[in-house]
A and B are shown apart, each in its own frame.
Chain A
Amino acid sequence: MKFEEIYQNYWQKVFRLAMGYVNDRDLAEDLTQDVFVIVYQKLSTFNQQSSIGTWIFRIASNTCLRSVEKKQKHQTTALNHDLPTTESHFEDNDQIKFLYQCISTLDEIDRLIISLELEEVPQSEIAEIVGISNGNVRTKIHRIKEKLNKKMSRYEYSRS
């Protein structure tokens, strides 16, 4: 696969993964660029033992983990438990922002797992990317989704 093709197909996917991890647009764009710099430099070493998607998401997940070095202590936006109550607080994309905000407050590995799940990466591949068992991935996804659904429902309730 050519780099140009990878770049077109995976940029937004990698960006969303980074965004879910750091919840900071500038940092996420910076991290996405870093991922593609590594992909460009290492593409010739890709040995096709896994799919190209798994390979790229592994690099992306590992780059996210190292974002802490970029911003020694990156500050994820703290989740506001006192949900806004008046309609005037909301914009059209507030729901999206809130989802990413919720994800960025999860544990680091959980952030990566749920981001990959929402990106529709098969669970067996998520297990391969993160390095944990299929069963463990299934359990974690179930638990994280439950948590997210609860927060999103409370959020929607507060809007209505």
Chain B
Amino acid sequence: MSTLDLKNLWQQQSSSQPNIEVVLEKAKAYRKKATQNIIIQNIVGVGTAIYLLFIAFYYDPELLLAKIGIGCGILSLIIYTVAVNKLYRLINEIGFDTDTMAYLDKLKEIKQKQRKIQTTTTSLYFLLFSLGLGLYMYEYLMALQPSYSIPFVIVTVAWVAVNWFYFRPKAIKKQTAKIDELIQYFSDIKS
């Protein structure tokens, strides 16, 4: 079969072209959805931090430890919000019109950065939130009888341990499985 025949065959394939309005609608919907997502995530992060600040001022715990605990909680939320914004910027800074080889490098780089941000942030979030919870509760537990406070401490520590050793690795694994597959795929294409 000659090259001309291949070209001829190739160009016989066609698709029913949708009305241009369909594409324009999709473009508008994409932009709206992307902006909405990032705004909602920022509102949730900042809103929860403000709520924790409100608790700190309203209940005004006596011990410095409790205040540090609330500080840890707020810090974990700040880290989460910053990470979400960083990821959003990363995904948007990809050059759609660079050549294929450069694009593959960029995709791989972005996926690796995304993986790092997600694993670091998840660990930091779990660590700071557990620490914050523990420090905040310390003051209230000290006011209780040991017969009440000890079981409470045991249950809380066990819950933190389950979070750290079970839910954290599970969350990280879930987040990274797809990314790892993509990193591998983009590497394979280039090699």
Contacts and interface: CB of A to CB of B under 8 A. Distances in A.
A68 B182 contact: yes
Contacts of B27: 37, 40-41
A22 interface: no
Contacts of A42: 96-97
Contacts of B185: 68
A72 B100 contact: no
Contact of B1 (A33, A108, A152): A152
Interface string A131-160: 110000000000001001100110010000
B35 interface: no
Contact of B3 (A46, A132, A145): A145
B17 interface: yes
B97 A40 contact: no
Nearest to A73: B181
A12 B17 contact: yes
A132 B101 contact: yes
Interface of A: 3-4, 7, 11-12, 15-16, 19-20, 25, 28-29, 32-33, 36-38, 40-42, 46, 55, 58-59, 61-63, 65-66, 68-69, 72-73, 93, 95-96, 99-100, 107-109, 112, 115, 118-120, 128-132, 145, 148-149, 152-153, 156
12 contacts: A4-B20, A32-B15, A33-B26, A37-B27, A41-B27, A62-B97, A99-B6, A99-B9, A107-B189, A108-B189, A148-B6, A149-B1
